[in-house]
Amino acid sequence: MIAILKHGTTPEQMQHLVDWLKHMNLDVHISEGAEVTVLGLIGDTSRVDMELLKSLEMVETVKRVSEPFKQANRKFHPKDTIVEAGGVRIGGGYFAMIAGPCSVESEEQIIEVAQAVKASGANILRGGAFKPRTSPYAFQGMKGEGIKLLLKAKEATGLPIVTEIMNISTLDLFADVDIIQVGARNMQNFDLLKELGKTKKPILLKRGLANTLQELLMSAEYIMSEGNEQIILCERGIRTFETATRNTLDLSAVSVLHNLTHLPVVVDPSHATGKANLVAPMAYAAAACGADAIMVEVHNNPSCALCDGAQSLTPPQFDELSRKVRRIREAIV
Ligand code: PEP
Ligand code: MN
Nearest atom (ligand 1) to Cα of 186: 8
Q: What pTM was computed for the model?
A: 0.97
User: What is the CA(332)–ligand 1 centre distance, in A?
Assistant: 28
What is the full DSSP assignment across 212-244? -HHHHHHHHHHHHTTT---EEEEE--B--S--S
The rounded Cα 14 to chain-centroid distance in angstroms is 32
The pLDDT tens digits for 228-283 are 999 999 999 999 999 999 999 999 999 999 999 999 999 999 999 999 999 999 99
- Asked whether 111 and 293 are in contact (CB, 8 A), the reply is no
Phi and psi at residue 330, in whole multiples of 5°?
-60, -35
- Asked whether 294 and 266 are in contact (CB, 8 A), the reply is yes
Query: Quick one: which ligand is closest to 206's CA?
Result: 1
The pLDDT tens digits for 200-221 are 999 999 999 999 999 999 999 9
Q: In tens digits, what is the pLDDT along the chain, a chain of 333 residues?
A: 999 999 989 999 999 999 999 999 999 999 998 888 999 999 999 889 999 999 999 999 999 999 999 999 999 999 999 999 999 999 999 999 999 999 999 999 999 999 999 999 999 999 999 999 999 999 999 999 999 999 999 999 999 999 999 999 999 999 999 999 999 999 999 999 999 999 999 999 999 999 999 999 999 999 999 999 999 999 999 999 999 999 999 999 999 999 999 999 999 999 999 999 999 999 999 999 999 999 999 999 999 999 999 999 999 999 999 999 999 999 998
- The residue contributing the CA closest to ligand 1 atom 10 is 184
Q: CB 169: neighbour CB atoms within 10 A? A: 9
User: What is the CA(289)–ligand 1 centre distance, in A?
Assistant: 22
Which helix (H) or strand (E) segment holds residue 22: the answer is helix 11-23
User: What is the CA(143)–ligand 2 centre distance, in A?
Assistant: 15
Nearest atom (ligand 1) to Cα of 184: 8
User: What is the CA(131)–ligand 1 centre distance, in A?
Assistant: 8
Nearest atom (ligand 1) to Cα of 102: 3
